[in-house]
Amino acid sequence: MTETPAARHHLEQQAGSLTTGTHIVLPDGGRTAEVHQVELERDDFGAPALVLASLTGGGTLRIAVGTTVTVVDENPDAVTQLPRAARPATGSGQKAGQDAGQEQPRQLREEAAPAAAAPAVVVPPLPPAPPALSGPSEEDLALIPAPQGTPESVVEAAAEAHPDAMGVLLLSDRLAKGVNFKSGSCLKDLSDLAHELFITLKDADGALAVADLLNVLPFDGNPGRWSSVEASLALSSYICRQNGQPERAEVYEKLIRTPENQETDPFKARMAAKVRQRSLNEPNLYDKEIFRSIDNSNHDAEREWRLLRLESLLFLRAHGGSETIGMVELERRISNELEAVRA
């Protein structure tokens, strides 16, 4: 950390736009430090809340995203306009001051030049955001077959194919009243039906037919509704990979990344990419819950927790794995979970 040089100019900006290499004025107002790394913490609603600015000399500043901070302007050509009271007098007043032996110093006269002569202060741009992933094209979407009839008829066909499957019958009875794609509970039932068909009954074709009702829905910004579509896309990607349909699987994998293409602000996109990568590297695989169920000999609870673990693994698989779990390990774990929940 260094003392703030008096000759350097300062700018004010929001903490959310801080970048690596910026020299920020510390809270004591008398020293500056270089920002070594910037991380963003979000609140429980997913909104940016806190900036963690790690400093080169050690230590971390915790700053609310909307807080205005002072940074050092690194533009050597910038000129700060003096306050009106500090400007030299003109006309007879200036002559009287000189006659009285109060001649303005040369440096002060030069700095008090008209403001129009001072170049504009240029704020350096933010670093570029990670490249946005391109969504599927019309040709890609053509690989997803159109539904055979209405959504209700697709559900009815799945139920007729498995008349003795109680899980399918319960879900199909709820959906027979009408499939409402604006209802979060309806989307959840469709996703659960697709998973039930594939995981329990090993009906890959029936699962894909139901899942494709969800897979073509656009991302509407609602995380609750999108979670059902996300689970359906991850399941569809895995089924197609297993069935030797890599091109169709890639379409589902592009669609599951749709929310990653929505953010246009470079800073927010960069921070969201870091948060997303962290969640992929540290997925919730429900280990404690599964072990607790095993210890209590509660097989029903164990199966439910394993189903949630399987969803997490399929989600990772659709993203190509992570920095901590590779594809080979993912395939092994998914096979183990399928075997466990089907037993």
Smallest CA-to-CA distance from 189 within 146, 149, 228 is with 228
pTM: 0.62
pLDDT of residue 119: 47
Q: Which residues contact 308 (CB under 8 A, 6 or more apart)?
A: 286
What's the rounded Cα separation, in Å, for the pair 321 and 314? 9
* 260 DSSP assignment: G
CATH 2.30.30.30 fits domain 1-73: yes
pLDDT of residue 19: 84
With a cut of 90, say whether residue 289 has pLDDT above it: yes
Lookup: tokens for 21: 């290499």
pLDDT of residue 1: 53
What are the Cα distances from residue 206, in Å, to 149, 196, 211, 217, 262? 14, 10, 9, 19, 32
Q: Give pLDDT tens digits for 63-119.
A: 887 888 888 876 655 444 434 444 444 444 444 444 444 444 454 444 444 444 444
**Residue range(s) of every CATH 2.30.30.30 domain in the chain:** 1-73
Neighbours of 237 (CB within 10 A): 28
pLDDT of residue 163: 94
What's the rounded Cα separation, in Å, for the pair 196 and 111? 77
Q: Give pLDDT tens digits for 296-334.
A: 999 999 999 999 999 999 999 999 999 999 999 999 999
Percent of the chain with pLDDT over 90: 50
What's the rounded Cα separation, in Å, for the pair 152 and 192? 15
Smallest CA-to-CA distance from 18 within 72, 76, 98 is with 72
The three state secondary structure string of the chain is CEECCCCCEEEEEEHHHCCCCCEEECCCCCEEEEEEEEEEEECCCCCEEEEEEEECCCCEEEEECCCEEEEEECCCCCCCCCCHHHCCCCHHHHHHHHHCCCCCCHHHHHHCCCHHHCCCCCCCCCCCCCCCCCCCCHHHHCCCCCCCCCHHHHHHHHHHHCCCCHHHHHHHHHHCCCCCCCCHHHHHHHHHHHHHHHHHCCCHHHHHHHHHHHHCCCCCCCHHHHHHHHHHHHHHHHHHHHCCCHHHHHHHHHHHCHHHHCCCCHHHHHHHHHHHHHHHHCCCCCHHHHHHHHHCCCHHHHHHHHHHHHHHHHHHHHCCCCCCCCHHHHHHHHHHHHHHHHC
| pLDDT grade for 135, boundaries at 50, 70 and 90 | low
Angle at the Cα of 84 (from 81 to 87), degrees rounded to 5? 80
pLDDT of residue 105: 47
* 129 DSSP assignment: P
Residue 228 and residue 187 in contact, taking contact as beta carbons nearer than 8 Å: yes
SS3 state at 144? coil
